[in-house]
Amino acid sequence: MNNWGLKIIWTAVLILAMSAIAACGTNNKAADSKEVQTGNAAAASAAPAETGGAAASEGATRTVTGEFGEVEIPANPQRVAGIYVEDYLKALGVTPVVQWYHPSWGKQDYLNLDVPEFDISGSIEALLDKKPDLIITDGGADAAKVEQYSLVAPTYRLPESVLQDSRLILTAVADALGIPEKGKAVLAEYDQKVADGKAALQQALGQEKVAVIRLNVADKTVALFGVKNRFTGVLYNQFGLTPVPMAAEMTEFQSIISEEVIPELEADHIIVFPDNGNWDTAANQEAIQILDAPLWKNLPAVKNGNIYRMERSHWQSGGITANQMKLDDLLKVMVK
């Protein structure tokens, strides 16, 4: 066979080989594509839908108006950090990616959250590591802090106008999460519980006057909480209890009581809790003895044994869950 014939044969062989390789590559790509699609579908089905709002398409956003203006947030957030507002997330059935913590204040232990702690006094990088897609915060964050949080994820700072009412906060948080109907359901249950509790308390106490005080153990002072206190104002404006005159007239959240004004307290019932720790600690057990002082002993509440030791954690929170726990406490000790 001449050289030209050999060239034709080798050319044909080469063309057949290249066609086979191309076909194989195409099949492999199709198989790889099918495997990726199948893997993505499995991952999507396994991913936790923590906020329960599956209706929104991936990547969709909407605009809400917070305290510092409009902010674009995910329409269906999946990884939420609720700085100071984990109480509301839990009430709505949403597990936050972190729980805020401060070395001096601790955290909201009553929530019993099994999530990593985020030290709000430390580096923001710790929050970045948790990859939130939405951050919600209350009045504890000023404009500068919100700007820092916004470097991590879209940050919705609740409007100042809702912060005095836990019911309004719950509604705002539910709306931000894209689950307003869930918010309405939780609120309806809460309102019914409050209505029932209020009726029982009013029947038991009538117009007897109630004071809420905190023992500041470190500096050995006593703080009276006023009717506008965001932690305990709910006792008066929702639960229907009658405040002592001094608390009713207060414009500030709390005020340190000097020994001279103790007789003016006129309390029939006193709710007391420490500023840190719990009643098992020696310092707090010693602190309660301040109520054995002569001026305190003349108060109707002390004379009649109507002093109620409460746990600090939920009594120093104004959240919707904490408020229900306070109501449970009051019904237990005041309604016989």
> pLDDT tens for residues 205-216?
999 999 999 999
Q: Which residue has the higher pLDDT, 243 or 22?
A: 243
Task: Answer whether residue 19 shows pLDDT above 60.
Answer: no
pLDDT in tens, 222-252: 999 999 999 999 999 999 999 999 999 999 9
Query: Residue 191's pLDDT band (boundaries 50, 70, 90)?
Result: very high
The residue with greater pLDDT, 293 or 49, is 293
Residue 286: per-residue pLDDT: 85
pTM (2 decimals)? Answer: 0.81
All residues at 6 or more sequence positions from 97 whose CB lies less than 8 Å from its CB, including other chains: 79, 80, 81, 115, 116, 130, 131, 132
**Between the CA of residue 139 and those of 84, 109, 157, what are the distances in Å?**
9, 20, 7
Residue 36 has pLDDT above 50, yes or no: no
Q: How confident is the model at residue 57 (pLDDT cuts 50, 70, 90)?
A: low
Q: Are 213 and 312 in contact (CB under 8 A)?
A: no
Domain borders along the chain are: 61-178, 192-334
Tell me the average pLDDT across 37-41. 33
**CB contact at 8 A, 76 and 90:** no
DSSP string, 53-114: -TTSPTT-EEEEEETTEEEEEESS-SSEEEETTHHHHHHTT---S-EEEBTTTB--GGG---
Q: Domain 61-178 is in which class?
A: alpha beta
Distance CA 210, CA 224 (A): 11
8-state DSSP, 224: E
Q: What is the pLDDT of residues 166-181, one digit of tens each?
A: 999 999 999 999 999 9
Q: What is residue 29's predicted lDDT score, i.e. its pLDDT?
A: 37
Length of the chain: 336
Is it the case that residue 51 has pLDDT exceeding 50? Answer: no
DSSP class of residue 175 equals H
Question: pLDDT confidence of 33, banded at 50, 70, 90?
Answer: very low
Percent of the chain with pLDDT over 70: 83
> What does the mean pLDDT of the chain come to?
85
Residue 96 has pLDDT above 90, yes or no: yes
Give the confidence band of 11 by pLDDT, cuts at 50, 70, 90: very low
- pLDDT score, position 267: 96
**pLDDT score of 261 more than 50:** yes
Q: Average pLDDT of 16-45?
A: 37
- Tokens in use for 26? 């195409």
- In this predicted structure, the answer to whether residue 39 has a pLDDT above a threshold of 50 is no
The predicted pLDDT at position 276 comes to 86
Q: Is the pLDDT of residue 320 over 90?
A: yes
What is the pLDDT averaged over residues 11-37? 39
Question: So what's the pLDDT on residue 278?
Answer: 87
Give yes or no for residue 8 having a pLDDT over 90: no
Tell me which fold the domain 192-334 belongs to: Rossmann fold (3.40.50)
pLDDT number for residue 296 = 92
pLDDT band at 288 (very low <50, low <70, confident <90, very high): confident
Domains 61-178 and 192-334 share a fold: yes
> Taking 70 as the threshold, does the pLDDT of residue 200 lie above it?
yes
Residue 51 · residue 94 · CB < 8 Å: yes
